[in-house]
């Protein structure tokens, strides 16, 4: 009975020493770092302007065409942010940055294109009434 107690005590002491000797290092999540930096830098104003112009100029057709173009545009991440990172860290950072920029670009474009399309439809309906 005492021998089982002694073995259990030794095992618990050795595992406590191992965990104290090698603390778990908290790994930084570079995906969220990339998202955070993109949030600070990217405004989406150019996408909004493009959406407004394409929706106003060509209505729903311009919205669809502009969305296809805006969705396929490349997102460039400045090398100064990733120069000191490993390959995996750089990939995570770039992915987070690009994901955020693409989401915001699409959101801003669609909102402005909806407004532009509404303007287009109002103008078209007024043209029809004046004839």
Residue-wise pLDDT for 1-43, tens only, equals 444 444 444 445 544 444 444 444 456 899 999 999 999 999 9
pTM across the whole model: 0.73
Identify the pLDDT of residue 113.
96
Which residue stretches of 1-131 are H helix? 2-21, 30-41, 45-71, 79-82, 87-130
Please tell me the distance from the alpha carbon of residue 29 to that of residue 31, in angstroms, as a whole number. 6
Residue-wise pLDDT for 53-78, tens only, equals 999 999 999 999 999 998 899 998 88
């Amino acid at each position: 009975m005492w021998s089982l107690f002694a073995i259990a005590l030794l095992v618990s002491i050795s595992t406590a020493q191992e965990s104290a000797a090698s603390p778990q290092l908290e790994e930084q999540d570079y995906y969220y770092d990339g998202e955070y930096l993109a949030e600070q830098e990217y405004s989406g104003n150019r996408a909004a302007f493009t959406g407004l112009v394409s929706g106003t100029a060509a209505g729903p057709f311009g919205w669809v065409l502009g969305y296809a173009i805006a969705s396929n545009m490349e997102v460039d991440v400045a090398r100064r942010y990733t120069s000191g990172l490993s390959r995996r860290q750089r990939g995570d950072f770039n992915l987070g940055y690009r994901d955020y920029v693409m989401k915001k670009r699409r959101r801003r474009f669609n909102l402005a294109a909806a407004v532009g399309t509404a303007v287009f439809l109002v103008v078209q309906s007024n043209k029809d009434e004046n004839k």
